[in-house]
A and B are shown apart, each in its own frame.
Chain A
Amino acid sequence: MGVKKFIQNVLESLKITDFEITSKKKSLKALLSKLKKKRVDVLRELKNESSDKKIKELNEELELITLHIKKGKNRLEDLKKS
C-alpha cells in the first residue's frame, strides 16, 4: 500500500476526509448570514431614503446582494449533495 493510500485510509477511518468541504460549508453559511443581514439593512435604508441618487445606489447594492445570496445558496446546495 502506497503512502498516499495509507494516509487516505487513515483519514477515512477517522472520518476527516470531507474536512475541506466542511470548512467551505461553514464559511459559506457565515457569508450568507452576513449578506442576508446586509439585505435587511439596505431594505430598511431604502424605505427611509428620499434622494433619487441614493435610492438608485441602494437598489444597485440590493441587486448585487441578492445575486450573491443566490449564488451562495446554490453552491451550498451543491456542497451538501457532494
Chain B
Amino acid sequence: MSKNIFLPLSLIILGYGFWMSPNFKDISAGVAIFLFGMLSLEQGFKAFSGGFLDKILKNSTDKLYKSIGFGIVSTSIMQSSSLVSVLTISFLGAGLIGLSQGIGIVFGANLGTTTGAWLVAGYGLKINIASYAMPMLVFGIIFIFQKSSSLKGIGYILTGLGFLFLGIHYMKEGFEAFKATINLSAYAVDGYKGLFLFTLVGIFATVVMQSSHATLVLIITALSAGQISYENALALAIGANVGTTITAILGAMSSNIEGKRLAAAHLIFNLVTGLIAIIFIYQIIYLVDQSAVYLNIAQDDYTLKLAIFHTIFNTIGVVVMIPFINKLVIFLEATLKPKKSVDEIGYDSVKYLNDSVLEFPQTSMGALIRETKHLYENAFEIIAHGLNLRRSKIVSSMEIDEVVKEKHARRYINIEDFYNKKIKDIYSEIITFSTRAQVNMQAQDIENLYKLKLANREIVEAIKNTKHLQKNIIKFSSHPNKYIQQQYLQIKKSLAELLRNINIIATTDEEDVIILLLSKVRINTQKNDLLANGTLDELIRKKNITNQMATSLMNDSVYLYNIRNNLCNMAETLFVQISGELKHLEDEMHITQSEIEDILEKKD
C-alpha cells in the first residue's frame, strides 16, 4: 500500500519541484547522474569479481586486521561500500568466509568509504571535474562495445567515474545557482534538536538513494555553497552512515542466515557509531578543529572539515567495536538462528546455495562445491546405515573386519525413504542452481561445473545401487550357507573400506596420501569384481552356492562394482580435480586402466 503511494507521490513532488525551480532540477539531475555512475561502477567491478576480486577476498580475510584492511582498500578503490558489503554477504552465504571475517570487512568498508568525502571535498569541488568526465564517458562507451569482458568492465568503470564526476558538477552548479534565489541555510536548526532532526533527514535521504556516498556528496556540495550549516551537515553525515545499512539489509534478504547476521552486525555497528558521534558531537568537533590545524586546513574550509569528521567518527566506531567483535558474533548467532536444515520429519535442505551468490561466478562455484560435499555427507550416512554399518566406526582406525561385525541398528534403514528426505531435494536444487549460475561463468568454470554435476549424479547413482544391493545383504549376511554369507560380508567390507578411504581423501592435505589412496581404490574395485576374479565361477563349480544364490551374487557384484566406481569418480572430481591442491597434477598422476591390469596380473 505504502509502496503504491510512495512512487507517484515522489514523482509529483519532483515534477512540481522541477517546474518551480530549474536549480532544483539541476541538483536532482546531479544526484540521478551520480547514482547512475555508481551503478555503472558496480557493474564494472562485478566484471572482475569472477577472478581477482574473489581470490583476493578469499586470501586476505584470514585475520581480523587483514579483513579490515581489505574492507578499507577495496572500498577506497571501488568507492562503494555497498558493493563490498553485498560481495561479503555473498561470500558468507556461500560459506567461504566466517562471520567475524565478514564483520571485519564491513568495519573496513566503513573506513574506506570516508575516502570519498576526502576526494570530493579535496578535489571534486576545487577543480573543474566535469572536464574529466567527458573523455571518460567517450572512452568508457568505446570499451563497453568491445567483446572482451575485461574491457567491458573497464568501460563500465570509466563511464561510472565519468557519470560520478558529471553528477558532482551538476550538484555543485545547482547549489551555487540556488544561493541567488533561496537561502536554505535559513532553515538551519541549532543544538541537539537540529542534530537529531538532520540525522533523521540523512537517514531518510540515504535510504531513498541507497547510497551514503551520494548523500555525502550532496551534503558536501550544499555545504560548499553555504546552503546548509556546518553542524547540520555533520548530523546529515551521521544519518547517511546509519542509512547506508539498508543496502546490506536488502542484500541479505536473499542470502542465508550468515548474510542476515552480517547485515545485522552492519546495522549495530553503524547505530553504535552514530550514537557515539551524537553523544560526543562537541568533543569530536573540537578534535576536528585540532586536526584541521595540524593538517593546515583553513578553519572556514568546512567541506574538508566534514571529511575529517567523517573519518574520525568512523575510526572511533571501529576502535570501540573491535574488542566486541567476538561478543557480537556470539550475540548474533544466539539471536538469529537458522531454520534447521534437517526438520523434525528428517527432511534435509540446501545449506550454501542462495541467490545472493549467483552474480559472482567463483563464489557460486564455491557454494556448489560445498553443497556437493554436503550431499556426499548425506550419501555417506545413507550408504553406511543402508549396510547397517556405524559411520563413526568406518572413519575410525578400527579394523575393517571389526567394523563390519558391529551393527548400527537392529533393523536396516529404508534407503528409498532416506533418499527422498536427504538427497532428492538437495540434488535437484544443485542442478537448478548450476544452470542459473552457468549464465555468468567463463568457459573453464562451465567445464568444472559440468564435472561437478557429474559428481552429483555419481553420488545419486551410488545410493540407488546401494538400494538394489541392500535387499540381498539383509538376506544373506546371516544366511546359514557360510559361503554366500562370506561373500556378502566381503561386499560390506569392501564398501566400508571404500568409505573410509574416501573420508581420508576428503580430510587430508597430504598429496601423496590422496594420490596413493585413489589408485588403491581403483585397483581394489577391479580386484573385488567377483565376475572378473573368478570367485563366482569357483563357487558355482564347487556347488558351494545354489543357482539362485549365484544369480543374486552376480547381479550384486555388478552393483558393488558400480558403487565403487561412482564414489571413486565422485571423489576424484570433488576432492582432487576441482578443489584440491592437486587439481593441476591429477591428470599426470592418474593411474591408467592398463597400469591397473599390469598390477593385478603380477599378483595372479
**A: which residues have CB within 8 A of B?**
3, 20, 23-24, 27-28, 30-31, 34-35, 38, 60-61, 63-65, 67-68, 71-72, 75
| Smallest CB separation, A7 vs chain B (Å) | 10
- Asked whether any CB of chain A lies closer than 8 Å to the CB of B125, the reply is no
Tell me if B148 and A3 are in contact (CB < 8 A). yes
Given contacts A31-B511, A34-B510, whether A67 and B584 have CB atoms under 8 Å apart is no
A24 to B583, CA, bound (A): 10
Tell me if A34 and B512 are in contact (CB < 8 A). yes
Residues of B within 8 A of A35 (CB): 512, 515
Q: Could you give 13 example pairs across A and B, Cβ below 8 Å?
A: A3-B151, A24-B585, A27-B511, A27-B582, A27-B585, A28-B588, A31-B515, A35-B512, A63-B599, A64-B599, A67-B519, A68-B519, A72-B589
Residues of B within 8 A of A34 (CB): 510-512
Instruction: Give the residue name and chain of the A residue nearest to B599 (CB).
Output: A63
Question: Which of B515, B520, B588 has a CB less than 8 Å from the CB of A75?
Answer: B588
Instruction: Give the residue name and chain of the A residue nearest to B603 (CB).
Output: A60
- Asked whether any CB of chain A lies closer than 8 Å to the CB of B190, the reply is no
Residues of B within 8 A of A28 (CB): 585, 588
A50 to B582, CA, bound (A): 35
A37 to B536, CA, bound (A): 40
Residue interface bits B525-569, CB-to-A below 8 A is 1, else 0? 000000000000000000000000000000000000000000000
Tell me if B512 and A31 are in contact (CB < 8 A). yes
- Asked whether any CB of chain A lies closer than 8 Å to the CB of B293, the reply is no
Given contacts A3-B151, A30-B511, A31-B511, whether A68 and B584 have CB atoms under 8 Å apart is no
Tell me if B519 and A31 are in contact (CB < 8 A). no
Instruction: Give the residue name and chain of the A residue nearest to B514 (CB).
Output: A31
A30 to B509, CA, bound (A): 13
Tell me if B516 and A68 are in contact (CB < 8 A). yes
Tell me if B585 and A67 are in contact (CB < 8 A). no
| Smallest CB separation, B29 vs chain A (Å) | 36
A24 to B519, CA, bound (A): 20
Tell me if A61 and B588 are in contact (CB < 8 A). no
Residues of chain B from 576 to 591 with CB closer than 8 A to chain A in the complex: 581-582, 584-585, 588-589, 591
- Asked whether any CB of chain A lies closer than 8 Å to the CB of B416, the reply is no
Q: A24-B584, A60-B520, A64-B516 are in contact. List 17 more A-B contacts (CB 8 A).
A: A3-B148, A24-B585, A27-B585, A31-B585, A34-B510, A35-B512, A38-B516, A60-B603, A61-B520, A63-B599, A64-B519, A64-B523, A67-B595, A67-B599, A68-B519, A68-B589, A71-B588
* Interface residue SS majority, chain B: helix
| Smallest CB separation, A82 vs chain B (Å) | 13
Instruction: Give the residue name and chain of the A residue nearest to B595 (CB).
Output: A67
A70 to B595, CA, bound (A): 12
Find the residue from A28, A31, A72 having the highest chain B CB count within 10 A.
A31
Residues of A within 8 A of B512 (CB): 31, 34-35, 38
Tell me if A27 and B510 are in contact (CB < 8 A). no
A3 to B148, CA, bound (A): 9
Q: How many of chain B's residues have a CB under 8 angstroms from any CB in A?
A: 22
A3 to B153, CA, bound (A): 14
Residues of B within 8 A of A24 (CB): 584-585, 588
| Smallest CB separation, B583 vs chain A (Å) | 10
| Smallest CB separation, B576 vs chain A (Å) | 12
Residues of A within 8 A of B511 (CB): 27, 30-31, 34
Tell me if A68 and B515 are in contact (CB < 8 A). yes
Residues of B within 8 A of A71 (CB): 588-589
| Smallest CB separation, B11 vs chain A (Å) | 44
Given contacts A34-B512, A67-B591, A68-B516, whether A27 and B148 have CB atoms under 8 Å apart is no
Tell me if A27 and B599 are in contact (CB < 8 A). no
Instruction: Give the residue name and chain of the B residue nearest to A23 (CB).
Output: B584
A77 to B311, CA, bound (A): 57
Instruction: Give the residue name and chain of the A residue nearest to B517 (CB).
Output: A64
Instruction: Give the residue name and chain of the A residue nearest to B516 (CB).
Output: A64
Residues of A within 8 A of B585 (CB): 24, 27-28, 31
A27 to B588, CA, bound (A): 11
A61 to B595, CA, bound (A): 14
| Smallest CB separation, A21 vs chain B (Å) | 10
A24 to B523, CA, bound (A): 26
Residues of A within 8 A of B515 (CB): 31, 35, 68
A28 to B515, CA, bound (A): 12
Question: Which of B516, B519, B584, B603 has a CB less than 8 Å from the CB of A27?
Answer: B584
A13 to B192, CA, bound (A): 63
A72 to B360, CA, bound (A): 36
A23 to B589, CA, bound (A): 16
Residues of A within 8 A of B595 (CB): 67
Instruction: Give the residue name and chain of the B residue nearest to A65 (CB).
Output: B516
| Smallest CB separation, B494 vs chain A (Å) | 15
| Smallest CB separation, A35 vs chain B (Å) | 5
Residues of A within 8 A of B520 (CB): 60-61, 64
Find the residue from A23, A34, A64 having the highest chain B CB count within 10 A.
A64
| Smallest CB separation, B399 vs chain A (Å) | 11
In the A-B complex, the 10 residue pairs with the smallest Cβ-Cβ separation, listed nearest first, are A34-B512, A75-B588, A31-B511, A35-B512, A27-B585, A64-B519, A64-B516, A38-B512, A24-B584, A68-B515
A61 to B515, CA, bound (A): 12
Residue interface bits B144-159, CB-to-A below 8 A is 1, else 0? 0000101100000000
Residues of A within 8 A of B584 (CB): 20, 23-24, 27
| Smallest CB separation, A74 vs chain B (Å) | 9
Residues of B within 8 A of A23 (CB): 584
| Smallest CB separation, A37 vs chain B (Å) | 8
A67 to B600, CA, bound (A): 13
| Smallest CB separation, A15 vs chain B (Å) | 21
Find the residue from B151, B523, B585 having the highest chain A CB count within 10 A.
B585
